[in-house]
Amino acid sequence: MLSVCSKMIVAYDHSELGKKALETAMSIAKQDKRIELVVIMVIDIPYTVSYYRVMRKAELLAANEILIEIEKKLNSLPNKSKTYVLEGNPAETIVDFVKQEGGDLVVMGSRGLNTLKEIFLGSVSHYVLQKATCPVLIVR
């Protein structure tokens, strides 16, 4: 039983590792029905894109459809759960959400960026691990 965790936040990106992170979080939540499970998806569309509005609408629609499927899975748990689609830089948005919502644990997949990108850009999971105000479980 994970009694020190009352709110678990899953940063979900619909990747294979994101799916594993969700499965891991659901397995942990099954151990204690008092754990609230919050699943967030962050969409990041550059404002410089000339077709921003069309792209944003399509991304929001796709993210909401994915979260409907996730909600069906979450309904199999006795736990309270919520889902959100957020907009912005994924790393910063996840950290800000955790601070605002008071998460006790973040669960997310690691992303396999190539070495060059990781040197210059870093990874979302690394940023969250460094900046989050609670423990972070990175699923590989």
**CATH code of domain 7-139:** 3.40.50.620
For the segment 67-110, what is each residue's pLDDT rounded down to a tens digit?
Answer: 999 999 999 999 999 999 999 999 999 999 999 999 999 999 98
For the segment 53-62, what is each residue's pLDDT rounded down to a tens digit?
Answer: 889 999 999 9
pTM for the structure as a whole: 0.90
Which of 130, 104, 131, 118 minimizes the C-alpha distance to 9? Answer: 104
Give residue 102's identity as a one-letter amino acid code.
G
Proportion of the chain above pLDDT 90, given as a percent: 76
Domain boundaries, the chain: 7-139
Start-to-end CA distance of the chain, whole Å, equals 23
